[in-house]
Chain A
Amino acid sequence: MSRFDCDDLLERLWAYMDGEADDQARSHLMAHIERCLPCRQQAEFERRLREIIQYKCRGERAPETLRIELVSLIIRS
């Protein structure tokens, strides 16, 4: 795992972004990104893309009627 090929970047980067990279994987990734400009740019792109996806797809609020129904369901049972 010590060799780092640019073709492997994305899956390693995703694992890191998912909080799934161990210390060694993380330091290999960081060392590579530091000296490889294209990979650094891609890493930045993926990070921002993830942020946009979260920003656009999160934050739904359940309808109040549903909340009330669920609570009354517990009370009735």
Chain B
Amino acid sequence: MGAASVTHEQPHATVSQEDRARFEALVHEHLDSLYGSALRLTRNRTAAEDLIQDTFLKAWRSFHTFQQGTNARAWLYKILMNAYIDSYRRSSREPELVDHEDVGEFYLYAKAQESDDLRRAGDPEEILLSKIMDADVKTALESVPEPFRMAVILADLEEFSYREIAEILGIPIGTVMSRLYRGRRHLQRLLWDYARRAGYVKSPSKDATAEDA
């Protein structure tokens, strides 16, 4: 490798084999979970791959600032989230940052309880959960608007603590909680819409035409 061919900044002039090995271990350990989150964020495989490349490139460039023994997963997620936020700010495909829907009081459980159709069909919660099991939950999650989706992904899928999420997103813990709880209500609303569209009742013992009305 001729050094003359290098035109961009090269902070790793003194990079050791040991650093490379340590970083490569991080790639192998965290790639799948980061890629999964990138997919849920970007909703698109190509964009997710680009985001992951960008994330690991940035991580590698600042690897010398990373303190061994600290939380590598949170460190990588912080870089991922910053890269994601940068990418949608730069592009015209900025996600909906305005929360149009009023989901303030939306709760799936209450909806199940209130639904005459579900009650008539038997155990409302049971039927609703089985509908959700059949639903495209990934697409529902991907339809939760930002910045709420980031919080839901970090908490519900990646199981970071509120403190870690606050650090990753650079926001106060109170904001983490309000985004997370709002994001969950959005998701519950979307799952309810899926379940409703799918129709409540599949029970073969029921008269199907009466339920379809």
Contacts and interface: CB of A to CB of B under 8 A. Distances in A.
A54 B36 CA distance: 12
Interface string B7-34: 0001010010000100110011001101
Interface in B116-172: 125, 129, 132-133, 137-138, 141, 155-157, 159, 161-162
A73 B56 contact: yes
A1 B31 CA distance: 42
Interface residues of B, number: 46
A37 interface: no
Name the interface size band of chain A.
35 or more
Interface in A3-26: 10-11, 14-15, 18-20
A74 B57 CA distance: 8
A42 B157 contact: no
A28 B178 CA distance: 22
A60 B156 contact: no
Given A56-B138, A77-B15, A18 B162 contact: yes
Would you list the 7 A-B pairs with minimal beta carbon distance, nearest first?
A: A60-B36, A62-B35, A56-B137, A62-B31, A42-B109, A45-B109, A45-B125
